Chains A and B, each alone.
Chain A
Amino acid sequence: MVQKVRLRYAKRGPVRFTSHRDFARALERALRRANIPVAFSQGFTPHPKISYASAAPTGVASEAEYVELGLQAPMDPAELATALDAALSPGLDVVEAVTVTTTDSLAERLVASRWRIELPGVEPAELARAVAAFEAAEEVAVARLTKQGRRQVDVRGAVVAITTGSASVPSGVDDVPCAIIECVVRQVTPSVRPDDILSGLQAVAGLTPPVPARATRLAQGPLTAQGEIADPLAADRRGMTAERVG
């Protein structure tokens, strides 16, 4: 392995229904079609050196998914991003790529996410009441099915900030209210996902959306003191610039 590259990619539109495993298969095939010199592990069944980090759940769109590739031959990250994006299905879009110039892991950088959750058919005022109740609670326990079985998870503790808004629905259906949640959620174990937030709102305020919500991960990265999400690739990008200058 001569180089590591970190990618940000988006999952948009219908392909948001890909599961993490679906994406992994699609990525491996796209890497082969694009002739990207991915490094392989040694051993009887060699695996490509690809590390995934906290993937968005199936059905949730994302503007900020991250993956790290190990290469066996050097390649310009911008070229790699263009070639890989062309080989991936429309909707699975490579947004940017940087060469890794730091030593800490990608997972360590992905401390929190900002989510946007659209709730067609929910009155904004009703949502605001539910969110206020949620914020007022010290703890909001939600049942989650994990690999270890059913677990109670505190959703409230993971939520750094939560705000509400409204919009017309994206599909353009007339006269249907659409409330919107934007929230910053810390990466905890087990992870708190948009569905869990909605379960939390149902638990504290009985909020029951009439149709499935549409969630999008807008950003993912380190959490600033102000509760904002920073760019997780910034450090590597600075390193790349420094290398070019030096």
Chain B
Amino acid sequence: MSESVESVWPRLEPLLPRVSKPIQYVGGELGAQVKGWDTAAVRWALMYPDAYEVGLPNQGIQILYEVLNEQPDVLAERTYAVWPDLEALMREHGVPQFTVDAHRPVGAFDLLGVSFATELGYTNLLTALDLAGIPLTATDRDERHPVVIAGGHAAFNPEPVAEFLDAVVLGDGEEAVLEITAIVRQWKAEGRPGGREELLSRLARTEAVYVPRFYDVDYLPDGRIQRVVPNRPDVPFRVHKRTTMDLDQWPYPKKPLVPLAETVHERYAVEIFRGCTRGCRFCQAGMITRPVRERSITTIGQMVADGLANSGFSEVGLLSLSSADHSEIGDICSGLADRYQGTNISLSLPSTRVDAFNVELAKELSRNGRRTGLTFAPEGGSERIRRVINKMVTEEDLIRTVVTAYTNGWRHVKLYFMCGLPTETDEDVLQIARLAHEVIRAGREATGSKDIRCTVSIGGFVPKPHTPFQWVGQTPPEVIDRRLQLLKQAINSDRSLGRAIGFRYHDGEPSLIEGLLSRGDRRVAAVIRKVWEEGGRFDGWSEHFSFQRWVDAAAAVLPAYGVDLDWYTTRERDEHEVLPWDHLDSGLDKDWLWQDWQDALAEVEQDDCRWTPCFDCGVCPSMGTEIQIGPSGRKLLPVTPV
């Protein structure tokens, strides 16, 4: 039966022998679904704006894909950023942006949902819109075009891309996509009254969907924002984030997508809890996903069993923002290790918490013989800076933990730090070298072996919206680069110890652009558009990223607004400045965030509200949510492993 929208496959296929890794454009993953076009009431294209190999494993997209396709009258397909080699051929041959499921043109869908895990995918969104034949500027679109709707962590400040978006959802998507679907279904069934404007206004009136065009931004003469206000009476002053409570009711992905192409994560991932209240002040994810909501041990066990049976994966990842903090993590690890002992299934826990308990868990999970790497994230080199960022780890803890790993048979551990943190001095960074030396020295002593190593891995700190560090001036790249050079020299100052220490870092320039996109306002859209026009693609990939292109674009467009790149990045904001995302409600009380920032400057730590009284960050009362943690006291019973 021929349908009203045709597959682009016959036109795409002849291009594929001419591009690298053509399998990524073919689809046909296990778990993928192709539904009839004409019988679907609402059609979603879901995009992860990066290469297939990165986007396919993305949990957010997989969850929404499955949740939407479970609706009998809803069709959801996926699309990813195409590499420049295929982009050029698609332009030459007039092939539009397509979904990998049924190779349908993205421009034909009702909605295009884009998940922004990072800001560096913004230029890829523009490529996709352009290839899809969708006008880049949202207000230029009409009834023929999909509603372009963004989500994901970066969407908590969507202002730099607001011009390109029709709508934005903050927070958890499981229920939000169904509610949006219901509104679109109803509006279409009524014969699309009032056109696109009416549909967007129905979405905005839920108070959980942000429609940028319904808000005006006024600026002060000095370039700061004066206010952000609705330009119509029926939309809320602030838009609230969504929180899915009771994750046991949402055990997705049930049928994980298993690709033919190679991807960055080849495993079944189960999110063991969502949210984190450790309170690390640099961590946007921990701030915007509160409160902690655990999946129960029994749901986790069932998801792992089903996920493995449905996928054939041989690796399971127990994911969350700090997995060792699950109230029943010990029983989860030993229960799963028991279940899969003697099979070739390997279990892993992304280990970031620095304590010996983490080594115990890793040991438990590696009973099957396969040992995954151990990573600890002290984040800051000195105890002083760790108090500033609220990462409560003493030097003694760190050394004891790493030595425990060495004495338990690990020959190599990875230590993760950040550079460019607020109040940071050269001395704070040089402490990283001293720590690494100490770790090796203590490790050699404890094991009696010279065959132990550690890798020091450094990331550049980027201040993020909705965190206590949202006001800080970002450290300039040249300062970061200089500190990293000093650190490298300090690590190698002792040749014997230095030989056992690997050093990995990125230069500071990409972080500055990430900073611009993270804390930018609507005026930054012109920079993004300019960079894209000048060929900017795949900015998350060092071989494609061009710092100069961003600097040039910023210099070309920002002076007209009386601001510049430094104004957005290295400038410290004061308490009363209106921030571009103030009208977007993550639940965090701005006064509390400011107080936490002052506490950071005073080097005062903040405990976790799971174990100490509520410290009034504001999320639970304003969002009507609560902490959901165990222990349930239940255990995993043995099952016949697959």
Task: Give me the interface of A with B, judged by CB distance under 8 Å.
Answer: 14-15, 17-19, 21-23, 25-26, 28-33, 35, 40, 44-46, 48, 58-59, 87, 89-91, 171, 211-212
Complex formed: what's the CA distance from A174 to B617 in Å? 68
The answer on a CB contact under 8 Å between A17 and B22 is yes
Given contacts A14-B26, A23-B260, A32-B308, 19 further A-B pairs with CB under 8 A are: A14-B28, A15-B23, A15-B26, A18-B260, A19-B21, A22-B23, A29-B30, A29-B311, A29-B313, A32-B312, A40-B344, A59-B16, A59-B17, A87-B312, A89-B28, A89-B29, A171-B10, A212-B14, A212-B17
Complex formed: what's the CA distance from A212 to B18 in Å? 8
The answer on a CB contact under 8 Å between A91 and B28 is yes
Q: What are 16 contact pairs spanning A and B, CB under 8 A? A: A15-B260, A17-B26, A18-B23, A21-B262, A22-B261, A25-B266, A29-B258, A29-B314, A33-B312, A35-B642, A45-B369, A45-B370, A59-B16, A89-B30, A171-B10, A212-B18
**Whole-angstrom distance between the Cβ of B585 and the nearest chain A Cβ:** 43
Q: Which residue of A lies closest to B308 (CB)?
A: A32
Partner among B10, B17, B260, B642 whose Cβ is within 8 Å of the Cβ of A32: B642
Chain A residues near B533: list those with CB within 8 A. none
**Whole-angstrom distance between the Cβ of B106 and the nearest chain A Cβ:** 19
**Whole-angstrom distance between the Cβ of B105 and the nearest chain A Cβ:** 17
Q: Which residue of A lies closest to B103 (CB)?
A: A14
Complex formed: what's the CA distance from A17 to B370 in Å? 32
Chain A residues near B25: list those with CB within 8 A. 17
Complex formed: what's the CA distance from A155 to B309 in Å? 46
Complex formed: what's the CA distance from A90 to B30 in Å? 10
B85 at the interface (CB under 8 A from A): no
Complex formed: what's the CA distance from A28 to B262 in Å? 13
Complex formed: what's the CA distance from A19 to B21 in Å? 8
Which residues B4-30 have CB closer than 8 A to chain A?
Answer: 9-10, 13-14, 16-18, 21-23, 25-30
Which residues B248-268 have CB closer than 8 A to chain A?
Answer: 258, 260-262, 266
Chain B residues near A40: list those with CB within 8 A. 344
The answer on a CB contact under 8 Å between B28 and A90 is yes
Provide the B25-37 mask, 1 if CB < 8 A to any CB of A, else 0.
1111110000000
**Whole-angstrom distance between the Cβ of B409 and the nearest chain A Cβ:** 12
Q: Which residue of B lies closest to A120 (CB)?
A: B14
- In the complex where A32-B642, A59-B17 touch, is A89 in contact with B311 (Cβ < 8 A)? no
Complex formed: what's the CA distance from A212 to B310 in Å? 36
- In the complex where A32-B314, A33-B311 touch, is A46 in contact with B344 (Cβ < 8 A)? yes
The answer on a CB contact under 8 Å between A58 and B22 is yes
Q: Which residue of B lies closest to A213 (CB)?
A: B17
The answer on a CB contact under 8 Å between B26 and A30 is no
**Whole-angstrom distance between the Cβ of A197 and the nearest chain B Cβ:** 15
Complex formed: what's the CA distance from A22 to B24 in Å? 11
**Whole-angstrom distance between the Cβ of B160 and the nearest chain A Cβ:** 36
Q: Which residue of A lies closest to B24 (CB)?
A: A17
Complex formed: what's the CA distance from A158 to B263 in Å? 36
Complex formed: what's the CA distance from A59 to B21 in Å? 10
Q: Which residue of A lies closest to B11 (CB)?
A: A171
Which residues B212-271 have CB closer than 8 A to chain A?
Answer: 258, 260-262, 266
Complex formed: what's the CA distance from A178 to B25 in Å? 26
- In the complex where A14-B13, A29-B313, A30-B312 touch, is A19 in contact with B18 (Cβ < 8 A)? no
The answer on a CB contact under 8 Å between B23 and A17 is yes
**Whole-angstrom distance between the Cβ of B141 and the nearest chain A Cβ:** 32
Task: Give me the interface of B with A, judged by CB distance under 8 Å.
Answer: 9-10, 13-14, 16-18, 21-23, 25-30, 258, 260-262, 266, 308-314, 344, 369-370, 642
Partner among B16, B308, B309, B312 whose Cβ is within 8 Å of the Cβ of A17: B16
Complex formed: what's the CA distance from A21 to B53 in Å? 14
Chain B residues near A31: list those with CB within 8 A. 312
Chain A residues near B14: list those with CB within 8 A. 211-212
The answer on a CB contact under 8 Å between B258 and A59 is no
Complex formed: what's the CA distance from A146 to B22 in Å? 21
Q: Which residue of B lies closest to A87 (CB)?
A: B312
Partner among A19, A29, A58, A59 whose Cβ is within 8 Å of the Cβ of B312: A29
Complex formed: what's the CA distance from A84 to B628 in Å? 42
Complex formed: what's the CA distance from A212 to B642 in Å? 43
Chain B residues near A46: list those with CB within 8 A. 344, 369
Complex formed: what's the CA distance from A154 to B314 in Å? 43
Chain A residues near B312: list those with CB within 8 A. 28-33, 87
Complex formed: what's the CA distance from A96 to B311 in Å? 24
Chain A residues near B28: list those with CB within 8 A. 14-15, 89-91
Complex formed: what's the CA distance from A28 to B311 in Å? 11
The answer on a CB contact under 8 Å between B16 and A44 is no
Chain A residues near B13: list those with CB within 8 A. 14, 171
Q: Which residue of A lies closest to B343 (CB)?
A: A32
Chain A residues near B344: list those with CB within 8 A. 40, 46, 48
Complex formed: what's the CA distance from A31 to B311 in Å? 11
**Whole-angstrom distance between the Cβ of A214 and the nearest chain B Cβ:** 8
Q: Which of B14, B17, B18, B258 has the most CB of A within 10 A?
A: B17
Which are the 7 A-B pairs with shortest beta-carbon distances?
A29-B312, A212-B17, A33-B312, A32-B312, A17-B22, A17-B23, A14-B26
Q: Which of A17, A19, A87, A89 has the most CB of B within 10 A?
A: A17
Chain A residues near B308: list those with CB within 8 A. 32
Complex formed: what's the CA distance from A30 to B16 in Å? 26
Chain A residues near B262: list those with CB within 8 A. 21-22, 25
The answer on a CB contact under 8 Å between A44 and B26 is no
Q: Which residue of A lies closest to B30 (CB)?
A: A89
Complex formed: what's the CA distance from A58 to B26 in Å? 13
**Whole-angstrom distance between the Cβ of B297 and the nearest chain A Cβ:** 24
Chain B residues near A91: list those with CB within 8 A. 28
Q: Which residue of B lies closest to A33 (CB)?
A: B312
Chain B residues near A26: list those with CB within 8 A. 260
**Whole-angstrom distance between the Cβ of A135 and the nearest chain B Cβ:** 26
Chain A residues near B311: list those with CB within 8 A. 29, 33
Partner among B10, B22, B310 whose Cβ is within 8 Å of the Cβ of A59: B22
Complex formed: what's the CA distance from A7 to B308 in Å? 25
The answer on a CB contact under 8 Å between A33 and B260 is no
The answer on a CB contact under 8 Å between B260 and A22 is yes
Complex formed: what's the CA distance from A48 to B344 in Å? 10
Q: Which residue of A lies closest to B16 (CB)?
A: A17
Complex formed: what's the CA distance from A18 to B26 in Å? 9
**Whole-angstrom distance between the Cβ of A88 and the nearest chain B Cβ:** 9
Chain B residues near A19: list those with CB within 8 A. 21, 23
Complex formed: what's the CA distance from A46 to B258 in Å? 22
Chain B residues near A171: list those with CB within 8 A. 10, 13
**Whole-angstrom distance between the Cβ of B555 and the nearest chain A Cβ:** 42
Q: Which residue of A lies closest to B309 (CB)?
A: A33
Complex formed: what's the CA distance from A31 to B27 in Å? 21
**Whole-angstrom distance between the Cβ of A65 and the nearest chain B Cβ:** 15
Q: Which of A14, A31, A59 has the most CB of B within 10 A?
A: A14
Q: Which residue of B lies closest to A172 (CB)?
A: B10
**Whole-angstrom distance between the Cβ of A152 and the nearest chain B Cβ:** 24
Q: Which of B9, B14, B23, B29 has the most CB of A within 10 A?
A: B23
Complex formed: what's the CA distance from A193 to B582 in Å? 61
Complex formed: what's the CA distance from A23 to B258 in Å? 12
**Whole-angstrom distance between the Cβ of B608 and the nearest chain A Cβ:** 38
Chain A residues near B26: list those with CB within 8 A. 14-15, 17
Q: Which residue of A lies closest to B313 (CB)?
A: A29
Q: Which residue of A lies closest to B345 (CB)?
A: A32
Complex formed: what's the CA distance from A17 to B642 in Å? 30
Complex formed: what's the CA distance from A26 to B26 in Å? 15
**Whole-angstrom distance between the Cβ of B170 and the nearest chain A Cβ:** 36
